[in-house]
Structure 1
Amino acid sequence: MPRQRDFLEYHRSIAAELQVTKDRVQNLIGDRHWHTVGISKEAILRKVLRGHIAETFHVGTGFVCGPDATSHQIDILISSRNKPILFGDGELRFVTPDMAIGIVEVKTQIQGDLKDVLHKLADDVEMIRTNGNQQCMAGLFIYEPYSTNDGPERILRRVREVANGNESRVINWIAAGPNIFVRYWCKGEDVQSNVHGPVWHSYTLDDYLAHAYFLSNIVWDTCSHLDLNMQYAWFPIEGGKENYRRYYVGLNDTQPTRFDF
């Protein structure tokens, strides 16, 4: 009997690939070289993303050099292939703000306050956006579960605090472990949100789909002029992920609110 197509299982397999490769590398390295383990996990995510994103983009690591400041080293720097770069050597690139399509911070787990990690990322994307590139997007990818009792609420609270009402400091996507996904919407009314305007939604997803959806959202959001009819291939959860949303917070709200079902 011929096997049926299954886009949902395909995306689960992408998330499983990330976990298996991460564990395989860590089994070889052990617990003595955490810095090397961290670098390898960034490289794994870059490799997987490179296999899906449009070929007009370069996926590597590097720095964005503004007129008055240079970013921290960016774990995953998505940049245009259609403009000149300041310096390039393999995965490493130094680019001007107009070249940056997206930046991603990668963490094995969160030790300490999530707000510190988000601040660093928001500082970098704010520098890029205030130097003429409002289209650059930012994301945080965490491999291990974000194990707090109020995980989604705390993430939304922190991401809102870090933005502080400033759209230039907005972080677009967060995968907080395999099951919590957060996405920013410029217009909440487009997704039947309780907030008409800028808003973050948190989603609780099963089977490592937060990791898969993080990648899908990067691929989808960084490409313009995509046919909306093709969403079935990238976002295959039955009924859409909006059925799995749990909390929301507007850019100018004070506290997250739970969705009523």
Structure 2
Amino acid sequence: MPRNRLELRIKDYHKSISLEFNIIKDRVRYLIGDSHWGEDGRYKEIILMNVLKKYLPKNFSVGTGFIMNNDDYESISTQIDIIIYENTYPILFKEGDFVVVNSANVVGVIEVKSKFDNSRFESVIKKSEEIGQLINRRIFNGIFYYESNQGVYFEEEEINLNFRNVLQNTVGKVNHIAIGENQFIKFWEEGNPSLNNGNPCMSLYELSNLSFSYFITNCIEITYLLSKDYQDNTDNLGWFLYPIEGTKETQRKNNIEITIR
């Protein structure tokens, strides 16, 4: 019985992360108004960046800027909203949170958006995929939408059909998407373990008030696994990183199999 009470409290703790985002977001909106909040703005990146700084290990830094290819120094990314990089590798340029870094020490990149817009989804995915191809190795590559004015599902409705087609035609570089605080998408390169078929796929989860938390905890785990300071002890943190009893697979709604090009 005490074990169950502990799990309930941990789940509530993770829900409070979504509440934290919403409180900070609303404070900004109260001051600048809804019309300005709808525009792309640096403040959205700063809110997420500051939350990540609280939870990521100290051998990581979080900034915004550009990434140069490790093998081809004439190749450089477009400006990236959030870059997570290791401090154990020299920084090419740093001024405050603005950085130009070598792809060799990048472990994560995130594009930050106000609200999910089906008509712009393909262009957002394309930009994130191009960044992933520039780095050309496994990283945490995420897209973070603060809000969604409608649910997104893998169904045969117009908006969802377009959404499904965009995901189905990805090249497997974008691996985590939060769409508001309730919907979360994860890419399984070697297939979703719960399906036992080994085919690369995107899985959609309905996680009530936990999408933001799962986005962050996946970011923590994956970037740490890629870290030069990695020690094989993350299994002891599973109860904390992923608090849903029976794993989030109990909340999985559907999958899209994709072909890696």
TM over 0.5: yes
Conserved 8 A contact 2:183-2:211: yes
Q: What runs of 5+ residues in structure 2 fail to find an aligned partner?
A: 226-231
Q: Which runs of 4+ in 1 moved over 6 A?
A: none
Compared CA separation, residues 53 and 73, structure 1 to 2 (3 A): same
- 1:185 to partner: Cα distance: 1.6
Compared CA separation, residues 173 and 156, structure 1 to 2 (3 A): farther
How far, CA to CA, are the matches of 2:105 and 2:154 in structure 1?
34
Q: Match of 2:108, SS?
A: strand
Question: Paired residue for 1:75, among 74, 81, 95?
Answer: 81
- 1:230 to partner: Cα distance: 1.8
Aligned residue for 2:194? 192
AA matched with 2:224 = C
How far, CA to CA, are the matches of 1:36 and 1:202 in structure 2?
27
Conserved 8 A contact 2:29-2:37: no
AA matched with 2:122 = K
How far, CA to CA, are the matches of 2:165 and 2:197 in structure 1?
16
Q: Match of 1:143, SS?
A: strand
* More displaced 10-residue stretch of structure 1: 154-163 or 52-61: 154-163
Alignment of 1:112-123 (within 5 A): 112-123=119-130
CA displacement, residues 166-199 of structure 1 (integer Å, 9 cap, x when unaligned): x4xx21100011111001122225x222531322
Aligned residue for 1:259? none
How far, CA to CA, are the matches of 1:38 and 1:151 in structure 2?
30
Compared CA separation, residues 31 and 127, structure 1 to 2 (3 A): same
How far, CA to CA, are the matches of 1:37 and 1:184 in structure 2?
26
Compared CA separation, residues 178 and 162, structure 1 to 2 (3 A): same
Aligned residue for 2:247? 240
1:157 aligns with 2:165: yes
1:230 aligns with 2:237: yes
Compared CA separation, residues 248 and 187, structure 1 to 2 (3 A): same
What is the aligned length?
Answer: 240
Question: Paired residue for 2:141, among 138, 142, 150?
Answer: 138
TM-score (norm 1): 0.84
What is the RMSD of the two structures over their aligned residues, measured on CA atoms? 2.3
Q: Match of 1:236, SS?
A: coil
Aligned residue for 1:55? 58
Q: What runs of 5+ residues in structure 1 fail to find an aligned partner?
A: 254-261
